[in-house]
Amino acid sequence: MSLSSGARLLERLRLGGKKSAVACALIVIMLFMWIRVYLGQRPAPAAASPAPAPTPAVVRRLPREVKLLELPKSPGRHDFLPRDFFTMKNPSDFRPQAGRNTGTDQEVPVVSPNETQEVIARIAKTLKLEAVLRSERPQVFINDRLLNVGDRLTVKEGAAFYEFEVLRIDVESVLVQCRGIQLTLQLAQYLEVVP
């Protein structure tokens, strides 16, 4: 009975591969170390020995001479600063003054008046019309969603949500509207490559 269980154990270890071999090796090492502990075979204690006396080293001192060299002056090189860049000649130039025009051009508006339209156009470029199902009730497949006329697709841009409503479905395009702006999405044209 023990022979068959031993044979089964060896077969399982053989099928286990590298992991089993590593586990067996660790078990053998552990058994070897425990046998040494039980038999009292311990390594000899290490004895501290005094450090050897340092041998006097001959230190040779070199004379310290510092020579200042004049850098070559080549035209076109910027080896020197003609003035101190860290002092202000006229500090009043840096004080804010009311009504002072700092340039000749008109100020550029930070927010575009058509910002919403630009954002919607940018988002519409991410919408992919993948398929148009033509039937009594036509449907479109946009960004992995199946939509009918009147359905809405919500897209998140930053912290804002934009809702696109499907207005009309044509053979190869769909008309959507977002915040009063109407856009047409075209069906993607796929090229078939024949070897």
Q: Is residue 25 part of a domain?
A: yes
- Do residues 12 and 4 make contact, with C-beta atoms less than 8 angstroms apart? no
Backbone angles phi, psi at 162, to 5 degrees: -120, 130
- CA gyration radius, the chain: 42
Residue 154 domain-assigned (yes or no): yes
- Amino acid 84: pLDDT: 64
In a domain, 108, yes or no: no
Confidence of residue 124 (pLDDT cuts 50, 70, 90): confident
130 inside domain: yes
Is 155 a domain residue? Answer: yes
Helix 18-39 and helix 2-16, axial crossing angle in degrees, nearest 10? 120
User: Average pLDDT of 160-164?
Assistant: 88
- The residue segments making up the domain with residue 123 are 115-186
Q: Is the pLDDT of residue 167 over 90?
A: yes
Predicted pLDDT at 116: 78
Residue-wise pLDDT for 52-106, tens only, equals 766 666 667 777 788 887 777 766 665 555 666 666 667 666 666 655 555 554 5
72 lies in some domain: no
Q: Is residue 129 part of a domain?
A: yes
Percentage of residues in the chain having pLDDT higher than 70: 62
pLDDT at 151 over 90: yes
Alpha helices in the chain (DSSP H): 2-16, 18-39, 115-126
Model pTM score:
0.40
pLDDT of residue 63: 73
Q: For the chain, what is the domain count?
A: 2
**Residue 140 within any structural domain of the chain:** yes
CATH of the domain at 142: 2.30.30
Mean pLDDT, residues 123-128: 86
